[in-house]
Structure 1
Amino acid sequence: MVGKNTSDKPVLSVSGLTIAFGSTTVVHDLSFGIAAGETLAVVGESGSGKSVTSLAIMGLLPERIGRASGSVKLGDRDLLTLDESEMRSVRGGQISMIFQEPMTSLNPVQRIGDQIGEAIRIHRGLKGAELREAVLEMLRKVRIPDPEERIDNYPHTFSGGMRQRVMIAMALACNPALIIADEPTTALDVTVQAQTLALLKELQRETGTAILFITHDMGVVAEIADHVLVMRRGRAIEQGTVHEVFSNPRDAYTRSLIAAAPSLVGKLADGTIPARGVEGVPLSFRGDAPVLEVRDLSVRFPSRGGLFGRLKGEVHAVEQVSFAIGKGETLGLVGESGSGKSTIGKAIIDLAPRHSGEITVAGRRIDYADPRSLASLRRDVQMIFQDPFGSLDTRQSIGSAIIEPMQVHGIASGKEARAKMEWLLERVGLDPARATSLPHEFSGGQRQRICIARALAMSPKLIIADEAVSALDVAIKAQIIDLMIDLQKEFEVSYLFISHDMAAVERICDRVAVMYFGEIVEIGARDDVIGRPGHGYTQRLLSAIPITHPDQRSARPPQRVDATPPRSPMKPVGYRPPPQSWEMMAEGHFIRRAS
């Protein structure tokens, strides 16, 4: 039984687990065990049964629909025999779970401090100031900036990666015997991912916690796992120690997963490249004229507090950002969660308030106070969001979702709109006969294809892809990236590709801009930025990319949890940032000088 330490009784022992929904069996006769202090990675593509296995362990299968048989023992207790009231005492106290999609797991109308504190209050019995301090300690552990301020904020004020950190804090709060981590680092950039994995390892060393780590990223498996269980179509097809599975994979499917592990072709160059000063803001792009030009964009959010909600300061989410994108070009915008990269995309399409700056699309300056200028912007610029299910109306058929924007903007109607919708579905690899289906009837990868088709329905000049592939497993991610590349060639559309996935950025992008605390610190051709990074932060970003084999764990310095307080984006009202200055590393390759 994989993950079972014969010298120690397993914390979790699963034997003959079979899960069915109605007459359909989705998990077949699954067995494994996890000892204290061990990490078992369960890997496989979407639909393999790995996440539903975790729900069965937690007793969270849908009532009257899902049923589990076999044995799931936590110590000596068989969880499948417990009633709901008994399982409530287990969840959060003895077993905690970190979910993949934090926004759907967090209560949008409850402050994050209250949500973390609820588990601590129930399972540890803390109250008042003692409870608040315990919550603050968890926020510090997962490196939430300004924890004393953010403890009273709501989930929508956090970035996707920051919300996942909140979920991790909730899971760690009661020192559980077992943590089930269901794709916990999917939404995180590589540096925060490395910090999170280091934090989980540190927790294991301190408490002996067992971890069931569900993922599709074999790079993460190589980093953290002791044992590996590979699932496909509801069955275990391979299991063993992490070294056995990576060094001698027996199944062809396992070999394909290992081959698809994120890695960079570009190698860091040795030595330094001479740089020279540059006057003004570097706005290089490919082609004759830019499709998008952003000049000195700043986005600030007010921070209020006290009895009367007085203005205490401003969060400088984006500060003096400038770049341009040419026709048919892809610019990658990369950086940590909270660096401001998604805020830039939202500010361009008027989903975030702009403090200052100028945005030009296809030679026309956007006047955000003019409805006609905004209508033109929404025709020319479309956005693909990270969560395709959240960006689709659950009650609207996918065909209607694609047709509706064409009708609203007067691009097409009637038979013409329907014909274009069917053609677009074919172009993104979906059957037009499914146009009447609802979003929940499709997989995650298929839903993202629907969102791409909807964006293309407007014949845009620019598509902003905000973490469009980060939540997909490696096989589907590769398909979506290849699709985007093919569609770009066909439609000559430009992309602003916002991502923390450096392997995806290398695959699709022509140029790369690196963001750090709301500012661009390096920008240039992909091969220059990834292969010859000039800025220290870019170098750290690239060094945090997961390894591709567990033997490499000792070949690089260990990732450590930084105990120093994170830099705060909060500034006093009226703060003026220092002027930017640049150095040119090569033609079109620039780095920010230290201010």
Structure 2
Amino acid sequence: MWRRASMPELVVEDLTVHGEDTGHPILAGVSLTVKPGEFVALVGGSGSGKTITARSVLRLLPQQLRIESGSIRLGSLDITRASETELNRIRGGQLGMLFQQPKKMFNPSKTIGAHLREPLKLHSGLRGQAAKAKVLELLADVGFEDPQRGMRSYPHQLSGGMAQRAMTAMALAAQPGILLADEPTSALDKVLEQQILELLDRQRIQRGLGILYITHNLASVAAFADRVLVMNAGVIVESGTTEAVLGSPKTAYTRKLLEASNLAPTGIAGAPTRQRNALTLNTVVKHFGSGKRRGRPALDSISLDVHHGEILGVLGQSGSGKSTLARAIVGLEGISSGSITRTLDADGAGPTAVQLVFQEPHDSFDPRMTLRASLEAPLRSRNDLTAVERSRKLTAAMEEVELDPDILDRRPGQCSGGQLQRMTIARALLLEPEVLICDEATSALDAVTQRTILELLQRLHRDRGLTLMIITHDMDVVRHMCQRVAVLYQGCLVELTDTDKFFADPQHQHSQDLVSAAIPCRGLHLKKIRAAL
């Protein structure tokens, strides 16, 4: 029988973290407490120090960073002084870890089942059939429709959302006392985000799980958190109950985060030009695997016209086929049957040029190369451009995405997520596409940076006449940006309609689930948030 007194309390006091190459602290005097059964949210923009705080608690800082002063205690254990043996005992045991980029945390040579059996064996002593039964139970709890298949899968066979579900299962496997959740739902659709948050909340209520929830999603904070800590530039600038912080913010920075989170329809969604289609998909089918392992198609008879000059939103739960559709359109995935036609461009000189902006900007660049070398690579194939002309095009591209051209001489690791996402857009624009597909291009960004990227895309749509496909799970982004909405479910196109009609009267059950899930996730405090602005 669980007793609240038996669960550990996490206490961080006056934590300061320095870097080898910085003249100022990365974290400065950070203090926080997570009690048993408490849901504490740590919010802030990209680079504010949220993830460094979590990694300090885990003693998993990069080599160039060190804890300069302060203390971190988990129950009676002083983590800052703990031996590696003690740390290995609590990591994944008393202290659960849920990271934002799950595929980087998995061993690509091991199945998901093998990953989950490891903490069950180490911390709970489960083996054999008992461990297998628990693995299947955990995968079902986090939303795997086919836990048996999920258990046999390797990390590369999962979508980003499915990998995040598996990481959540692994974090909860040993029933930790404290869970550090670093952006755990940023790659998930609203339905699954709601499911994961409700799962964590049940664990909090039933077992007294203490949760430090790191996020830029203020809607989920409003719905689930007991207390909110706001971090900026390595300092906690505001803290208090959720209602107090989000309802009556004291600092300009908190108000800025709240205002940026409050996306409203822009009114740009007038009727798109329908004189011609930019893309035509006719009964497109995509299977992965072969024979008995082939399973349900990733894309199942998709027929879709993308109108020239429109902004089309593509919605659907994680694993519904959205990213597979994007990769098929640009030719990164072959299709099993059907056709994808790029109609002639405006001059009739050739097929419509299509470029793809990927979800995770850090994975879109070679970390060993400067950004200049990465962006210049596709231009080198053009024999009509001299070195001087290539340089001019790069400078112009930087100006178009509102970046200082000096950034071209940096490497990816020296840039923020928002800067790199602008760079991915700039690289795509260098080849002058007519269609730009953005695959979850803002899901990993904080609210302020997200709004900046969306405004950039709107300007490019207006100034260049770009056709945009916005693949997202963020309903506010769709309402804010898009003229039409296409909904995918289990590889099928189940709804295609104007944005206003979609939100007013969704027809398919999955569409209804997506719309309804977006409402409770925004929380009961949203009216107070808006009133405070």
TM-superposed deviation, 1:476: 0.2
Could you say if the C-alpha distance between residues 262 and 181 of structure 1 is closer, same or farther in structure 2, counting changes exceeding 3 Å? farther
2:282 corresponds to which of 289, 292, 295: 295
Aligned match for 1:16, one of 14, 17, 23: 14
Q: Within 1, Cα distance between the matches of 2:225 and 2:131?
A: 33
Residue 75 of structure 1 and its aligned partner are, at CA, apart by 0.8
Match in the other structure for 1:115: 115
Check the 8 A contact 1:399/1:435 in 2, yes or no.
Answer: yes
**Residue type of the alignment partner of 1:15:** E
1:418 CA drift (Å): 1.5
Give the equivalent residue in structure 1 for 2:45.
45
Is 1:147 paired with 2:150?
Answer: no
Can you list the C-alpha shifts for 1:513-543, whole angstroms capped at 9, x where unaligned?
1111111111122222123323332122111
Rounded to whole Å, the distance in 1 between the matches of 2:404 and 2:62 is 30
- Residue aligning to 2:98: 98
Tell me the amino acid that sits aligned with residue 499 of structure 1.
Answer: T
Q: CA deviation at 1:312?
A: 4.4
Q: Residue 340 of structure 2 aligns to which amino acid in structure 1?
A: I
- Quote the residue 1:225 is aligned against: 225
Within 5 Å, which residues of 2 pair with 1:198-347? 198-262=198-262, 286-302=273-289, 311-347=292-328
SS of 2:169's partner is helix
Moved more, 289-298 or 243-252: 243-252
**In structure 2, the residue corresponding to 1:256 is in which secondary structure?**
helix
1:111-158 CA-partner distances (Å, limit 9, x unpaired): 111111111111112222222222111111112122112212111111
Shift of 1:8: 10
Map of 2:360 onto structure 1? 387
CA deviation vs aligned residue, 1:370-423 (integer Å, no higher than 9, x gap): xxxxxx77x811110001110111122212222211222556342212211111
Does the 8 Å CA contact 1:285/1:324 hold for their aligned counterparts? Answer: no
1:143-542 → structure 2 map (5 Å cutoff)? 143-262=143-262, 286-302=273-289, 311-363=292-344, 380-410=353-383, 412-542=385-515
- Cα deviations across residues 192-239 of structure 1 (Å, max 9, x unaligned)? 000001101111122111000001111010111001111111111111
The residue identity in structure 2 corresponding to 1:189 is D
For the 8 Å contact 2:309–2:465, the answer to whether it is kept is yes
TM-superposition CA deviations, 1:572-595 (whole Å, max 9, x none): xxxxxxxxxxxxxxxxxxxxxxxx
Letter in 2 for 1:347: A
Change in Cα spacing, 1:147 to 1:264, as seen in structure 2 (3 Å) is farther
- Percentage of matched positions with identical amino acids: 37
Which residue of 1 is the match for residue 530 of structure 2?
A: none
The residue type paired with residue 13 of structure 1 is: V
Tell me how far apart the structure 2 counterparts of residues 45 and 123 of structure 1 sit (CA, whole Å): 35
1:350 is displaced (CA, Å) by 2.1
Number of matched pairs: 513
Letter in 1 for 2:163: R
Structure 1 pair 532–9 and aligned structure 2 pair: CA distance change class (3 A): closer
Q: Say if 1:290 and 1:363, in contact at 8 Å, map to a contact too.
A: no
Structure 1: gaps spanning 5 or more residues: 1-5, 267-283, 304-309, 365-375, 554-595
Instruction: Supply the RMSD in Å over aligned alpha carbons.
Output: 2.2
Distance in 1 (alpha carbons) for counterparts of 2:383 and 2:162: 39
The one-letter amino acid of 1:212's match is L
Measured in 1, the distance between the counterparts of 2:295 and 2:507 equals 30
* 248-257 or 220-229: bigger deviation: 248-257
Deviation of 1:108 (Å): 1.7
Please give the secondary structure, in 1, of the residue aligned with 2:362: coil
Question: Which region of structure 1 is more displaced relative to structure 2, 177-186 or 543-552?
Answer: 543-552
DSSP 3-state at the match of 2:363: coil
Tell me, what secondary structure is at the counterpart of 1:296?
A: strand
Q: TM-score, normalised by structure 1?
A: 0.82
Cα deviation for residue 552 of structure 1 reads 7.2
Distance (whole Å) between structure 2 residues aligned to residue 131 and residue 233 of structure 1: 43
